[in-house]
Structure 1
């Protein structure tokens, strides 16, 4: 539904009231003036379990769009898929990469990657994985009929061929610095070639299902309710065999209901609990909240460059009108930090100290200054023009960011409309151009799948699938393409720092803040690593009884 347009003063008051109400909805308290921001420590890994579980129940804030790895592009999809389908490589908690379904990966020439395929790996139907399955799985990303959301990861791929009984060679048209790392995520998932052919158009949905190699096997998908899995006893990685006999994902779109289910023990755990409920959850004595490495930045995506936000000066004015420090307190209860970058600091670990400093320390800051921002709006001749902010009822942060952005826009002379859609409709915004029509801004918690900022920068090149606002800058494209073709780490990150600076100047997306990965587990379970790698690593297999 859409909110009405208010005059500047009344909308500011309404937004402030909405912030306070949202913060108290889950029992949290609104931030007090001068309050000290909460402190937290990152946990690398929780205590090892001492026993098995008959059943592990987990919450999802939305139903997966698909379990077809070609379309798994969001948090619900990938946190489920990671436990039943595996990739050629594994993404570790520190964002490094190690062998997975490939025991070895080599780069004999700048344009060649050779993968040795693990032997004696079984799919859930009992058939044996081979090089033909790897070729068929990877080639789907190149098939226009499939329309893979991960096509950009394969943009430089010339061929994917079986070069021996258990060897696959990927050849690129030019050096590609992040292709190999990308195969530790959804782009590298391996499915049975025979099953892909048999399932056809139903592959990955509630009717067709999947048939992969992971520690859990899909047994039932009740659309809108839950997905049920059983432990796969034929799993190849016996050291990481599942501790739970059954795994159930319950779709719970209401954040209040999720928190109550955590406290009551109805649900054992969940990723991304509402930040404003962290104090309440910790105080409940029913379990613990953990914080871990994240690769995400919370941003506002400009999806319509035909409206007023097509002007970079207007985008700057809007960012200056948002009190991002206050937003961290109101939207995330202080469990975040304001940023001017579209990439998280965690994905710059391979860069030298000077490059990291340049990537973040040399960025232009856009301080909170309503008066200066309003002046820009007048000078650009867009006063009174309307923007639509699309959001969904998926957590306190969504509501607060939408209200705060609307209030900020109105405060500098723009008009603002908030369009609230269902969680599933919100997910569709990131895959369907038709769904984005009529929307100017979308709030996103955009994570990277690898430990390299180039994944972020590559999607904002002209014409990329995830370049939702059709941002186009020749100098930017040139810089990113050069970085992607640079295999020397230091030189590549230096070019990435330049790309980050261009984004900081043009603001195709408006960076707001960074948050840690947040995990809730009740006091009956343990074992998970609270890292963003849970989107591509079989994390649920690690969890067992305390």
Structure 2
């Protein structure tokens, strides 16, 4: 029987004992000594254990492994392009805004972002924020950061997006004005992209990171590893909880799973869905599944042979067995793709746009028209682009049945993004989720886009892209985005067979990881938010 003097303070005593490592037997003894029966004690332990699991714990170090790295890894947010880049810059820097779990815009370094017409914007900064070197954050830092993206010498990956900022100026020490070339209601969301992390005014040396972020860069070895230690002067009331973290890449999926199972790492990012059965055998491992819309796509460059032939591209689209990829390669953890980058989780997804049918005979017809049936065609694939080797193998087997000779060239993950992606005539890419169609289109399909994977170019598309940004009528904007998705699906040289669920594996004592519209590992911002129980 529960004693009448059992109070919330005693609940707290049980929670404290759990945190100190007390076993279930020890806890039951403690409860029984206080007059609590076994049944009531069991319920109390469940309640206390749940409370402990939800309460962040401070301390400890964590090792996490992504899937891609390169000797071109960078601490410059403007140049970031790989998972290792994003994980570092999310830890060492901050953005003006961030996206919450539902995709809503929240303030980070900004106190407010406001506008009357979606063209002229005013950003008020939080006061008292300091960089790792002790410098106080000011409007000068924001102006310098944003203008870097406009300078061709920087080589910013988001130059095409930033170019709409026709004026960036300081009003006072904590206020910045941004004037766009045309109205764009998405600016607060754009500022939440990884590349718009704020760097200190005048920064040109990125051999280390001087940010305002939750961690201070202790070690940065491009292509090898990064180590961050807790920032004791972090401006947020909560976090980070870890004392330090280490992040590196293990390109091979099986090796990444084995490292997690053996305890060498506590987080393994972006695991192949085929690994789920192995992970399910261990009580010491749990998974986080994010369905934000990342994808691996086959890119056929339209400015090179054989992609210069529209019939070849159409034949490849009909040779892609999307259902087989969804059900077998991705173990059902995906949705069928229709060859454009806006996923079904996005409110602007074109629900009426059907994917190209898997039809080998139609594919043969197009290959014959292109004069390429029987010709050996190389496809470059790598573990760096998740599941791309499996995708390529599925297409290769389908090609054999109609006399099409697709040669899968499997290349190492190391150097893939700098040596093959965007360069090889036919190759695979892996795109992380982006929260708006305009960001996806500007990065990947605009004629001047840095990451235009198939070298797609259309004046009509470029014009619609600019027009849709400033369209505040949701019905009209939706119609434009549906048209643009159809144009990409029918005209571009990218084949997107499925929108993939992202599977991150972690040790059972890792807590705090939540879904993000920017992809797995909380949009790569995991280090600031996770804790070890």
What TM-score results when the alignment is normalised by the length of structure 2?
0.84
Q: Are 1:60 and 2:66 matched, yes or no?
A: yes
Distance in 2, Cα, partners of 1:344 & 1:110: 23
Shift of 1:307: 1.1
Residue aligned with 1:340, SS:
coil
Shift of 1:99: 0.7
**Could you give the per-residue CA deviations for residues 34-54 of structure 1, whole angstroms, max 9, x where no partner exists?**
xxxxxxxxxxxx953442232
Aligned residues between the structures: 477
**Could you give the per-residue CA deviations for residues 236-293 of structure 1, whole angstroms, max 9, x where no partner exists?**
0122x11110111133222222111111111111221222111111212221112123
Does structure 2 conserve the Cα–Cα contact (< 8 Å) formed by 1:453 and 1:496? yes
Does structure 2 conserve the Cα–Cα contact (< 8 Å) formed by 1:91 and 1:97? yes
Query: 1:149–1:290: structure 2 CA closer, same or farther, 3 Å change rule?
Result: same
Query: 1:155–1:406: structure 2 CA closer, same or farther, 3 Å change rule?
Result: farther
1:296 to 291, 294, 297: 294
Q: Which has the larger radius of gyration?
A: 2
Residue aligned with 1:260, SS:
helix
Residue aligned with 2:449, SS:
coil
Query: 1:429–1:225: structure 2 CA closer, same or farther, 3 Å change rule?
Result: closer
Q: Alignment RMSD, CA only? A: 2.3
Q: Are 1:366 and 2:330 matched, yes or no?
A: no
Q: Paired residue for 1:151? A: 159
Shift of 1:429: 5.1
Q: Paired residue for 2:14? A: none
Distance in 1, Cα, partners of 2:383 & 2:55: 35
Query: 1:489–1:233: structure 2 CA closer, same or farther, 3 Å change rule?
Result: farther
Q: Paired residue for 1:11? A: none
Shift of 1:430: 7.8
Q: Paired residue for 1:217? A: 216
Distance in 2, Cα, partners of 1:462 & 1:418: 29
Residue aligned with 1:244, SS:
coil
1:457 to 434, 438, 441: 441
Distance in 1, Cα, partners of 2:321 & 2:274: 18
Does structure 2 conserve the Cα–Cα contact (< 8 Å) formed by 1:392 and 1:423? yes
Q: Are 1:48 and 2:47 matched, yes or no?
A: no
Distance in 2, Cα, partners of 1:52 & 1:346: 38
Does structure 1 conserve the Cα–Cα contact (< 8 Å) formed by 2:131 and 2:200? yes
Q: Are 1:76 and 2:74 matched, yes or no?
A: no
Structure 2 segments unaligned to the other structure (5+ residues): 1-51
Range that drifts further, 172-181 or 185-194: 172-181
Q: Paired residue for 1:419? A: 409
Q: Paired residue for 2:37? A: none
1:268 to 261, 266, 269: 266
Higher relative contact order (CA 8 A, sep 6+): 1
Does structure 1 conserve the Cα–Cα contact (< 8 Å) formed by 2:63 and 2:265? yes
Does structure 2 conserve the Cα–Cα contact (< 8 Å) formed by 1:309 and 1:315? yes
Q: Are 1:406 and 2:396 matched, yes or no?
A: yes
Distance in 2, Cα, partners of 1:333 & 1:536: 23
Query: 1:50–1:464: structure 2 CA closer, same or farther, 3 Å change rule?
Result: closer
**Could you give the per-residue CA deviations for residues 327-371 of structure 1, whole angstroms, max 9, x where no partner exists?**
22332222212221423435523x5xxxx5xx12x2133222111
Query: 1:142–1:112: structure 2 CA closer, same or farther, 3 Å change rule?
Result: same
Q: Paired residue for 1:479? A: 464
Residue aligned with 1:122, SS:
coil
Does structure 2 conserve the Cα–Cα contact (< 8 Å) formed by 1:337 and 1:515? yes
Distance in 2, Cα, partners of 1:293 & 1:329: 16
Q: Are 1:119 and 2:127 matched, yes or no?
A: yes
Does structure 2 conserve the Cα–Cα contact (< 8 Å) formed by 1:293 and 1:346? no
Q: Are 1:191 and 2:199 matched, yes or no?
A: yes
Q: How does 1:464-543 map to 2 (within 5 A)?
A: 464-533=449-518, 534=521, 538-543=525-530
Query: 1:293–1:119: structure 2 CA closer, same or farther, 3 Å change rule?
Result: farther
Does structure 2 conserve the Cα–Cα contact (< 8 Å) formed by 1:344 and 1:514? no
Range that drifts further, 376-385 or 511-520: 376-385
Does structure 1 conserve the Cα–Cα contact (< 8 Å) formed by 2:385 and 2:430? no
Shift of 1:233: 1.0
Q: Paired residue for 1:22? A: none
Query: 1:224–1:467: structure 2 CA closer, same or farther, 3 Å change rule?
Result: closer
Shift of 1:413: 4.3
Does structure 2 conserve the Cα–Cα contact (< 8 Å) formed by 1:274 and 1:395? no
